[in-house]
Amino acid sequence: MSVRAGREFLAIPGPTTVPDEVLRAMHRPAVDIYAGPLLALTDSLLKDVARVFNTKGRAYIYIANGHGAWEASLTNVLSKGDKILVLESGRFAIGWGESARRMGAEVEILKGDMRRAVRPAELEARLKQDKGGTIKAILVAQIDTASGVVNDIEAIGQAIRAAGHEALLMVDAVASLGCMPFEMDKWGVDVAMSGSQKGMMTPPGLGFVAANDRAREVHKKAGLRTPYWDWTDREGDLHYQKYAGTPPEHLLFGLRAALDMLFEEGLDNVHRRHWLLAEAVRRAVGVWAEGQAIGFNIVEAGERSDSVTCVTVNGHDPEAIRAYCNQKCGVILGHGIGELSGKAFRIAHMGHVNAPMILGTLGVVETALGALEIPHAKGGAQAAIDWLSEQVKA
Ligand SMILES: *Cc1c(COP(=O)(O)O)cnc(C)c1O
């Protein structure tokens, strides 16, 4: 017997729930790519993607997922043999650095671990040793989706300036754009990248990159440039050039609808909604953790992200929890990845999510813990409810 009939809920950290408004905007015939409404659509999207990154710099939209946007950002500013410093706090910056290595960069990892954020003081100390300025770029993820950590990009930018270092600051905002503030210009970020399928509520397939003037200056001499990713080509006047070929029309119509929804709600409200729902999840996990089997992967409460929570499972199989939630209740949780494989599950709370989705998910996880007889204190879902009753006033 199961109680899963009805709409399945996808609580994995991407792709996320696509709003009906976005789906409807995409349900249309193809249109001319040389004239007509698509041209103005592109202009509005490039402007608004830059707006979401909070930059006066340029934005670029690629037909790509996050891995593609990683490559887009690297090819445009690096040359073969350039040294880069990757700030470890999970899997994703490491993966981005791995791409850079395979493209010919020399990669150093500033050692961190899966359970905590990057420490800006350690970055500052490392950069101060680099007297000759051999490090050309610093790569970091704002939210690492594997560990569930949030890094303080503002403090990382300050650490680079405090060290008086010239390296470009490059930030992966795939799991954070549209979920929490991103202040590209204010924080001194030179290159930022993201994708369509997480906080941006659009199907997978669009990669976003934003670059400031400093990055575009470095770009002029970058040796790894290739025709498809090249910023200069994409800055051409012809509409066709902006996508290095046929535009991903339907995804663009979808993205327009998603951005309209974000702006209509107001980005501050969007971020606050994410924080409220993330905290509801954390309240629940905090209660379950009293049973000693369930815990937070990220040790420091202040370093837990507002878009995904990584929940460790000690002495029991997290895959059994995921299987129960999926097969019995129609909720798909994320699995543990990297060194957390088989040791954790993840609850995504990013993008088009509201209280019933999150309270429903928490209720289902608590149902699973009960059914599987995994030790936990009861009342996690109740704690989430109490939190929202307190914070979301009548
Ligand atoms: C999802 C994700 C990626 C990879 O995106 P894909 O679209 O799967 O290539 C990169 N970085 C972070 C932080 C992510 O969460």
For the domain with range 9-16+267-391, which CATH number is right: 3.90.1150.10, 1.20.140.90, 3.90.950.20, 3.90.1010.10? 3.90.1150.10
Q: What is the dihedral of CA 203, 201, 332, 290, to 10 degrees?
A: 150
* 4 half-sphere exposure, CB direction, 13 A CA radius: 16
Distance 175 CA to ligand 1 centre (A): 7
Q: What is the pLDDT of residue 232?
A: 98
Paired tokens of 163: 């060290």
Distance CA 74, CA 99 (A): 9
pTM flag (> 0.95): yes
Q: Which residues contact 114 (CB under 8 A, 6 or more apart)?
A: 89, 90, 91, 146, 147, 297, 338, 339, 340
Omega of the bond leading into 29 within 30 degrees of 0 (cis): no
Cα 279 to middle of ligand 1, angstroms? 23
Q: Which residues have any ligand 1 atom within 6 Å of their CB?
A: 14, 65-67, 92, 141, 144-145, 172, 174-175, 195, 204
Q: Are 349 and 393 in contact (CB under 8 A)?
A: no
Ligand 1: distance of its center to the CA of 63 in Å?
A: 14
Distance separating alpha carbons of residues 317 and 201, to the nearest angstrom: 31
Q: Do residues 234 and 228 touch, judged by C-beta distance below 8 A? A: no
The strand pairing partners of 192, in sequence order, are 171, 210
Ligand 1 centroid to 94 CA: how many Å? Answer: 12
In angstroms, rounded to a whole number, what is the distance separating the alpha carbons of residues 44 and 22? Answer: 16
Element (H, E) at 60: strand 58-63
Q: What's the rounded Cα separation, in Å, for the pair 199 and 178?
A: 5
Of 142, 174, 196, 208, the one to substitute when testing ligand 1's pocket (max ligand atoms within 8 A of C-beta) is 174
Which one of 145, 180, 349, 350 would you pick to mutate in the ligand 1 pocket, going by the greatest count of ligand atoms within 8 A of its CB? 145
Radius of gyration of the chain (CA): 21
The angle that helices 380-391 and 355-371 make with each other, rounded to 10 degrees, is: 160
Question: What residue has token string 């051409």?
Answer: 236
Tokens of 118: 């990057």
Residues 364/329, Cβ–Cβ less than 8 Å? yes
Domain regions of the chain by residue span: 9-16+267-391, 31-263
Point out which residues pair with 150 in neighbouring strands.
143
Residue nearest to atom 4 of ligand 1 (CA): 66
- The set of residues, in sequence order, having a beta carbon less than 8 Å from that of 103 and lying 6+ positions away, is 71, 74, 75, 78, 224
CA distance 139 to 142: 10
CATH of 31-263, one of 1.10.579.10, 3.90.45.10, 3.40.640.10, 3.30.70.60: 3.40.640.10
What does the CA dihedral 273, 255, 99, 92 come to, rounded to 10 degrees?
A: 10
Atom of ligand 1 nearest to the CA of 308: 15
Contact call for residues 11 and 350 (beta carbons, < 8 A) = no
Residues 173 and 260: their CA atoms lie apart, in Å, by 20
Sequential pLDDT tens for the chain (394 residues): 999 999 999 999 999 999 999 999 999 999 999 999 999 999 999 999 999 999 999 999 999 999 999 999 999 999 999 999 999 999 999 999 999 999 999 999 999 999 999 999 999 999 999 999 999 999 999 999 999 999 999 999 999 999 999 999 999 999 999 999 999 999 999 999 999 999 999 999 999 999 999 999 999 999 999 999 999 999 999 999 999 999 999 999 999 999 999 999 999 999 999 999 999 999 999 999 999 999 999 999 999 999 999 999 999 999 999 999 999 999 999 999 999 999 999 999 999 999 999 999 999 999 999 999 999 999 999 999 999 999 999 9
Among 177, 75, 88, 187, CA closest to 140 = 88
Instruction: Using alpha carbons, select from 319, 304, 301 the residue that is nearest to residue 144.
Output: 304
Looking from the CA of residue 146, the nearest atom of ligand 1 is 15
